Structure 1
């Protein structure tokens, strides 16, 4: 579920509390969380509604100036259900704080090396090599980095997301960069490989 930045600002101010989507089935779950550039959007109840029964109040709660604008976004009725999704605000993304934490405790380092060991069973050294590639080539498109690593772009992006979950990388408009935590981990990897 994607949100424009202007809408995220309104969700954060509690001015937008609903979203409407035409889906074959929901792409979010009740109680779920959607990570965005502004934080984590909290998902509340999800119900199927009849598009023709939506109101101006619904449109305004979803950030649209008019009911017509909401109906235009939903498009013509093609039989695909319309879902009403309650938005329960935005929380800070815990990965953001983690990215800036470049001081690794022994416990942090142990947890990270265990994670790398589990991931690297299929391809030893693969995840540290991703960190090295991103560190050496920030803002380089994923396709280029994937090609250099000898993997498909989709797999590479999925693997970078695993590193992002640990607060080690940051996505940019084009490519990635290491976070301060990622730089600290890369430096520690270099020390332990010498």
Structure 2
């Protein structure tokens, strides 16, 4: 929902608004979502006339001018515009998991089981371990380039990597991805063991 620059602005307190044009509202007050800068809290959602957006609103949304906000709105021109008040809800809880490289034998087994479940639910067979190894060998590589090397669509790869991120195994960089300390520790541990 937010670019890295805007999410980081919310985390600093510089950005407190977002504007979206949607056919129907997609977020609700009190909701949260994860961003590259941690947890983002949706404090309020209001349907507005875009003509009422002020220069102060534009600055609060991380834009220089009202015209920049209006130009950023996607969707059909007759769809309503929503003013969304945002605040920072703290660090991404996955970060603490991702930083934990002291894996027990049970941790190693549980991660392997979680990857097996992801592989079983996917439509392209066993992809998790190969994707982790690809990221390990190519940190900071663009998603499009990683996807091409795997023969999958970029959006498919990004969705898959988000699943690995949810397990605390990968981290997003400004460009591309890297293994988290936890992901690197798991791969090292699996390298010392037999099996996939």
- For residues 4 and 175 of structure 1, the distance between their equivalents in structure 2, rounded to whole angstroms, comes to 13
Q: Give the aligned length.
A: 190
Gaps of 5+ in 1: none
Per-residue CA shift, 1:80-121, capped at 9, x if unaligned?
311011213341111222222111134432321221121222
Partners of 1:137 and 1:188 in 2: CA distance: 20
Q: Taking structure 1 as reference, are residues 103 and 80 closer, same or farther at Cα in structure 2, changes over 3 Å only? A: same
User: Which structure 2 residues correspond to residues 1-194 of structure 1 after superposition, within 5 A?
Assistant: 1-3=1-3, 5=5, 7-8=6-7, 10-14=9-13, 16-54=15-53, 58-59=57-58, 61-62=60-61, 69-70=65-66, 72-75=68-71, 78-121=77-120, 125-193=126-194
Matches of 1:144 and 1:84 in 2, distance apart? Answer: 36
Q: CA RMSD in A?
A: 3.0
Q: Is the 8 A contact 1:11 1:90 kept in 2?
A: no
* CA deviation after TM superposition for structure 1 residue 191, in Å: 2.1
Uncovered stretches (5+) of structure 2, i.e. residues with no partner: none
Distance 2:59 2:37 in 1: 21
Q: Deviations over 1:2-61 (max 9, x none)?
A: 2462x5455335454332223333443433333333222111221211223445665565
71-80 or 126-135, which deviates more? 71-80
Select the structure of larger CA radius of gyration: 1
Normalization by structure 1: what TM-score? 0.78
Following the alignment from structure 1 to structure 2, what is the Cα–Cα distance between the partners of residues 4 and 184? 27
Superposition TM-score, scaled by structure 2 size:
0.77
